């Protein structure tokens, strides 16, 4: 479970103190500093797999994108900051990001063609809070990769099934498409991406 470390801090206070030298990962939820759970090996294998496949695709297409190691996504409307599992950056727009140079933080949807969260035990954050904030920011495409079928039944069915939810912004709201098994992922950012849900799930070890 996530552990609340301290309440009511501003983003400026958060970014000045966290992350610290422990190697621990933190996020900020409406002024509350949250220590993120240590991910499983399967979780990290899926992150590596997706990062590699997406890097190959934007490189093939000659797009000016990149996937950083540690960058914060900050909604403008609240004191929150997220460190996504996979964050695709539109590199030319970084010159327009006021917090980029000093804090490696992005706030503009045009800087973020795609963001991916791989679901862990704190699944409600991915399906509810981050979903709402990414939608409010206007991020065009958001994937929720629930390889271990941890999310609520309203999101992944009953009985629960490993599911990838691809959320695409249409008229300011997300339209959600769900992919399972041999379903080919449909990505507006990468329409030629040849990748099935099962290929992604197989990259992780579900114990």
Each residue's pLDDT tens digit, 145-173: 999 999 999 999 999 999 999 999 999 99
User: Which residues of the chain fall short of a pLDDT of 50?
Assistant: 1, 207
Beta bridge partners of 29: 32
* pTM for this prediction: 0.92
**Cis peptide preceding 159, ω within 30 of 0:** yes
Task: Give the model's pLDDT for residue 205.
Answer: 63
Task: Give the model's pLDDT for residue 103.
Answer: 92
- Give the H or E element holding residue 176: strand 173-179
3-state class (DSSP) for residue 96: helix
Task: Give the model's pLDDT for residue 207.
Answer: 44
Dihedral angle over CA of 117, 163, 50, 67, nearest 10? -30
């Amino acid at each position: 479970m996530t552990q609340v470390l301290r309440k009511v801090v501003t983003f400026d206070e958060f970014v000045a103190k966290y992350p610290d030298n422990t190697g621990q990962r933190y996020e900020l939820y409406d002024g509350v500093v949250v220590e993120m759970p240590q991910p499983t090996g399967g979780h990290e294998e899926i992150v590596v797999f997706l990062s590699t496949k997406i890097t190959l695709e934007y490189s093939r297409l000659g797009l000016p994108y990149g996937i950083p190691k540690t960058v914060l996504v900050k909604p403008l409307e609240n004191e929150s900051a997220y460190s996504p599992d996979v964050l695709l950056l539109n590199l030319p727009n970084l010159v327009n990001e006021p917090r980029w140079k000093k804090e490696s933080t992005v706030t503009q949807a045009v800087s973020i063609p795609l963001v991916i969260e791989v679901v862990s035990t704190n699944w409600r954050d991915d399906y509810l809070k981050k979903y709402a904030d990414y939608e409010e920011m206007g991020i065009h495409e958001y994937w929720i990769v629930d390889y271990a079928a941890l999310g609520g039944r309203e999101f992944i069915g009953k009985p629960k099934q490993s599911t990838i939810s691809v959320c695409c912004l249409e008229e300011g709201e997300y339209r959600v498409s769900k992919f399972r098994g041999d379903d080919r992922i449909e990505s507006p950012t990468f329409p030629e991406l040849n990748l099935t849900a099962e290929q992604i799930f197989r990259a992780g070890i579900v114990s």
